[in-house]
Amino acid sequence: MSEHVVSPKTYALILTALLVGTAVTVWVAQVDLGPWSLAVALTIAVIKATLVVLFFMHMKYSHRLNWIFFAAAILWLVLLISMTLVDVIANLAGN
């Protein structure tokens, strides 16, 4: 595991950023952005998740092997969801 000790100040900063991100995403949801609202909400979620992985989970200071496992998970997740959606959208367009 990582030996690096992250300062409580950094953790507090990340906590603040995550809470602000939550407030922003709730606020943006009240504004009608049409098809963009889902994209904006997911972008904020990805940023929040990235902060948690990098700092709370110490990925930033972690062994390269962990990065490879993590990248593999993301790769297969993106493949799973994008390929599923390609099929769904092709079906909807066909009908």
Partner 1 sequence: MWVFLVTEVMFFGGMFAGYATYRFRYPEAFLEGSGKLDLLLGAANTAVLILSSFTMAMAVHSAQTNRRRSLILFLILTMLLGSVFLGVKVVEYSDKFHHHLVPGPSFHVEGAVGPQVELFFSFYFALTGFHALHMIIGIGLLSVILWMSWRGRFSAEYYNPVEISGLYWHFVDIVWIFLFPLLYLIGHHRL
Binding site for partner 1 (CB under 8 A): 1-2, 5-6, 8, 11-12, 14-15, 18-19, 22, 25-26, 29-33, 37-38, 41-42, 44-45, 48-49, 52-53, 55-58, 66, 69-70, 72-74, 76-77, 80-81, 84-85, 88-89, 92
Least spacing, CB of residue 18 vs partner 1, in Å: 5
Taking the least distance from each CB to partner 1, the nearer of 8 and 94 is 8
Burial 27-55 (b: 16+ CB within 10 A, else e): eeeeeeeeeeeeeebeebeeebeebeeeb
Q: Which H or E run includes 76?
A: helix 64-94
Residue identified by tokens 């709370």 is: 56
